[in-house]
Structure 1
Amino acid sequence: MMTTGLLPEGFHDRLPPHADAAAAVEARVLEAARLHGYERVDPPLAEHADGLSSRLKDGALTDAVRFVDPVSQRTLAIRPDMTAQIARIAATRMGHHPRPVRLSYAGPVLRLRADQLAPAREWRQIGCELIGRDSVAAAAEVVGVAVESLSAAGASGLSIDFTLPDLVETLAAGPLPVAADQIEPLRSALDAKDAGAVATLAPAYLPLVEAAGPFDAAVARLRAFDAKGVLASRLDALSAIAVSLGDRVALTLDPTERHGFEYQSWLGFSLFVAGASREVGRGGTYMIVGAEGEEPATGFSLYADAIVATAGAVERRRLFLPPGTPVADGAAMRAAGWVTVAALEADDTPQAQLCTHLWKDGVAQPV
């Protein structure tokens, strides 16, 4: 029976050369992380839904595809994000390990639904988690590893947008009290930069609507707003992280950004590269739930497909080996980094094998 080859909405095949390019991005990111001491773990695609949802503080499984396991009759969930699985491994299988634990990972994730800006429901997620610390030093290390990983993957024009996910709670519990039932509406209004709603809910928070922008100017505005110094430690921490990055990356600050940072604590950040219409990764500090209570952590996640998409046309460099080419010649060229494609028939051609070069007279010649 003939099939159409159509895939469900939000799914797509990764074809050559893009699948190779995405795999190369993944390998380079993981190698950059390994050089900083992050060791790889590989959790399963699905887990018990209740266990997966319990590992991150405030971490719900609203985006998870669930199904009943025919063996155990328990509800399983296909991971929509790998961070909760790393939290489980750190809290259980590696609970005895001295802190901090540095772990890296890569694998597919599946989401129940997508949004208009990111219509894919299946992604290949790559990341690092530093379990046991959410200090300034830990955050600076993780942000630095994220930057090095993107550079190793071939990305350019790097920029980071920082946010302070617990900003409203911190102010509401101190100098700018807000009724408990008004905190979530206020956070949503600030996230949407809805000055009218903010003015109705809590006029004292209006300066935060204009506080976003280039890093130095935004920090200065926040310091001026923070007359009682409640935010001083957070702003000092952000400045220390910025200093650690030097001039390798452009920095901005949007202190009230909340979308995508629902379970982060004092720090969140989005990663951007040249050519990308939206972020290619996110990270921050958060709390995991273990056998002995909550534990701090810091990490980031990247998406290989989003990084590859910024490269435009993916380069192919394939060397065609005509019939009769000595085996040693092909081996030498592969050792030199070439992809070789050997002719299997006498009438085979470089064009038919999508080759960019031809091995002729001992030289790789452009086709």
Structure 2
Amino acid sequence: MTTTHIWFTPEGIEDLLPPQAEKLEFYRRELLDLFAASGYELIKPPIAEFFDSLLTGSGQDLSRETCTFVDQESGRTMGVRADTTPQVARIAASRLRAREGAPLRLCYAGDTLKARYNRARGTRNPYQTGVELFNVPGKAGDAEILLLLLESMDALGLAPITLSLGHAGLIKRVLSECSLPESEAGVLLTLLNRKRYPEYQAWLNANLHYIPYDLQALFTDWFELSGEAETVIDQTKSLLSAYPEMVAELDGMLDLLALLKAAAPHVRIFADLAEIRGYYYHTGLMFSTYVVDEHDRALVVARGGRYDGIAEAFDNPMSATGFSLDLRAVLDLLAPVERTGQRVWAPMEADPQLHEKVRDLRSEGYEVVWCEATPDGAVCKLSKINGLWTIENDEA
């Protein structure tokens, strides 16, 4: 019996080899340094915890994506995290409760695991990096997170970037004004999610009597509310003119848009107010960033938005917003990392001065490799000359 079968990893799970592993680590460090410089504190949730904790609150959608096993200590079901966000909410609402009411800025980076392999999403083992901002409600929190998101795209060297805005809270307000049966509301959300316009038209004709007259024009044009952000928002305002609270929400989006354009004029900003991905999870503004790959395909880099309801499950309601991205998924889009340290070969000798010299060189950025004999083709090596360990360069 051969052992080749043990060389293979499960479908959707891959080893990360040189130089890709070093590349991931470099950009992870770039992002974490940016987050720290923006006032965010690093946390490291456990890779696994009790299954019900991983699904608490808005995390319920993760049930089918979470790998589970029985804890041999307690007998309870545990899960390997499929998303870090619910863990961050748990920590913020419980372990950091002493900071209750004050703005709380947290960041993280680590592996996650998906129970199912979705070829469109690629790996089952995303390396999730992100930030979460608690207790900064409304436009102020949304602005801070979006500015940091765009800075993160710059830190990764990704360009050109497209930012897409949606608003789950606005859609929920619109539906709350209607008398749609729950089953019909579910059909509507499915049609919006799948962008099935002909079926939507048939659904609208059959359910128009459930929709207030002042909202019927919005429902008629809903599929057209996608495109250049300012144009779409102005169009939506005119369709919702009878609802001052919704218009105020849209005015807030325009203010945010002006801020983003001033901070990042190179970023294209679109709005899709028929976008419902994350509808059950998000409570307000939703957003994502895209880049176009070499095959002219739009690839999602990061997603985020407001999810004020998640911490309520931990008996500590607080506003929350944030974003995350999978570094592993975007590695091929990132520039190669150049190793700047010059390699020096050092003889394996019992000389205190040699070992001190090696430590000094490494602290200066050199790559110093121990060897019994200097390999063929080596350019730089340490040699003892006149009693001092010195770098000899054979290229000279």
TM-score (norm 1): 0.86
Match among 134, 143, 150 for residue 146 of structure 2: 143
Q: 2:168 is paired with a residue of what secondary structure?
A: coil
Amino acid of the structure 1 residue aligned with 2:285: L
The amino acid that maps onto 2:343 is: F
Equivalent positions of 1:1-367 (< 5 A) are 2-4=3-5, 5-56=7-58, 59-98=61-100, 99-174=102-177, 176-203=178-205, 204=216, 205-229=219-243, 231-245=246-260, 246=262, 247-273=265-291, 275=293, 277-286=298-307, 287-288=309-310, 289-292=312-315, 294-311=317-334, 314-317=337-340, 319-321=342-344, 337=365, 339=367, 345-349=373-377, 358-359=379-380
1:347 partner amino acid: P
- Tell me the distance in 2 between the aligned counterparts of 1:364 and 1:189: 68
Distance 1:359 1:261 in 2: 59
Residue deviations 1:117-154, cap 9 Å, x none?
11211111111111123310001001111211222233
**Does the 8 Å contact 1:161/1:251 carry over to 2?**
yes
Cα distance between partner residues in 2 of 1:62 and 1:271: 26
Q: Which moved more, 1:105-114 or 1:269-278?
A: 269-278
For residues 345 and 169 of structure 1, the distance between their equivalents in structure 2, rounded to whole angstroms, comes to: 71
Moved more, 161-170 or 49-58: 49-58
Deviations 1:10-52 (A, max 9, x none): 1000111111111111111111111111101111111111122
Instruction: Give 1:241 deviation, angstroms.
Output: 2.0
The residue that corresponds to 1:353 in the other structure is none
Letter in 2 for 1:82: T
The answer (yes or no) to whether the contact 1:39–1:102 under 8 Å persists in 2 is yes
Equivalent-residue separation in structure 1 for 2:48 and 2:59 (angstroms): 20
DSSP-derived class of the 1:51 partner = helix
* Bigger CA radius of gyration: 2
Q: Deviations over 1:291-310 (max 9, x none)?
A: 43532201111211233220
Structure 1 residues 25 and 53: alpha-carbon distance in aligned structure 2, compared to 1, 3 A threshold: same
Structure 1: distance between partners of 2:157 and 2:392: 28
Deviations 1:270-326 (A, max 9, x none): 1224537421111100022254353220111121123322026554556333567x9
| SS at structure 2 position matched to 1:56 | helix
Aligned 8 A contact 1:79 1:109 in 2:
yes
Segment of structure 1 superposing worse, 97-106 or 72-81:
97-106
Gap change, CA 1:293 and 1:202, over 3 Å in 2? farther
Residue-pair matches, total? 358
Task: Output one character per residue of 1:207-251: Cα deviation in whole Å (capped at 9) or x when no partner.
Answer: 111111121222222223223235312222222222222214221
CA contact (8 A) 2:290 2:300 kept: yes
Q: Which amino acid aligns with 1:232?
A: V
Q: CA deviation at 1:82?
A: 0.4
Residue type at the aligned position of 2:143: A
Runs of 5+ unmatched residues, structure 1: 351-357
- What is the CA RMSD across the aligned residues, in angstroms? 2.9
Choose 123-132 or 328-337, whichever is displaced more. Answer: 328-337
| SS, match of residue 309 in structure 1 | helix
CA distance in 2, matches of 1:267, 1:302: 17
CA gap 1:57/1:329 in 2 versus in 1, 3 angstroms: closer
Instruction: Quote the Cα distance in structure 2 between the aligned partners of 1:57 and 1:78.
Output: 13
Distance 1:328-1:77 versus aligned 2 partners, 3 A rule: closer
Aligned partners of 1:55 and 1:87 also within 8 Å? no
- Cα offset for 1:192? 2.0
More helix by share: 2
Q: 1:294 to 1:322 in 2, by over 3 A?
A: closer
Paired letter, 1:153: L
- Specify whether residues 40 and 207 from structure 1 end up closer, same or farther in structure 2 by C-alpha distance, changes over 3 A only: same
Tell me how far apart the structure 2 counterparts of residues 125 and 365 of structure 1 sit (CA, whole Å).
44
Following the alignment from structure 1 to structure 2, what is the Cα–Cα distance between the partners of residues 274 and 307?
A: 12
Greater shift in the superposed pair: 251-260 or 76-85: 251-260
Distance in 1 between the 2:320 and 2:327 partners?
23
Distance 1:240 1:197 in 2: 35
